[in-house]
């Protein structure tokens, strides 16, 4: 009788887990929120990042006399299921440098991600 009860209880639990979606991973962040212009402050300087809808972007620091048009070009991709932002910087002299970050916050006004060393980088939206 105990075996029948245990089997019945486990079967019910399994049914509830699968019907309620337990174990299914929901995307933590909407990658479309990345698109737009963001600014963070590093070493006392404003560090601007523009993420375009076509998966390209540019990074520049005005205090270093670099304009948006002269900025460092990059390609980006966001994996919603893994909360992973990959940026591939396109070097002027040739070559590509990939950088991978883990998103920890992403909403209409704030983007925060960590690099492979656990350093956190925080940005606020300038515009969409």
Segment 72-125, tens digit of pLDDT: 999 999 999 999 999 999 998 889 999 999 999 999 999 999 999 999 999 999
pTM of the model: 0.78
Under CATH, which architecture does the 30-127 domain have?
Beta Barrel (2.40)
DSSP structure string for 21-33: TTTPPPPSS-GGG
Q: What is the pLDDT of residue 6?
A: 43
Q: What is the pLDDT of residue 99?
A: 96
The angle at the Cα of 98, spanning 73 to 83, to the nearest 5 degrees, equals 100
**Per-residue pLDDT tens over the stretch 7-63:** 454 455 444 444 455 555 566 899 999 999 999 999 999 999 999 999 999 999 999
């Amino acid at each position: 009788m105990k075996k029948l009860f245990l089997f019945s209880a486990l079967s019910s639990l399994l049914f509830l887990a699968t019907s309620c979606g337990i174990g299914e991973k929901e995307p933590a962040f909407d990658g479309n929120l990345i698109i737009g212009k963001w600014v963070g402050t590093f070493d006392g300087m404003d560090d601007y990042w523009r993420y375009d809808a076509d998966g390209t972007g540019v990074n520049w620091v005005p205090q270093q006399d670099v304009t948006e048009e002269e900025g460092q070009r990059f390609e980006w991709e966001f994996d919603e299921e893994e909360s992973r932002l990959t940026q591939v910087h396109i070097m002027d002299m040739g070559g590509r440098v990939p950088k991978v970050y883990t998103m920890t916050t992403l909403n209409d006004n704030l983007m925060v991600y960590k690099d492979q060393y656990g350093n956190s980088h925080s940005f606020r939206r300038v515009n969409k």
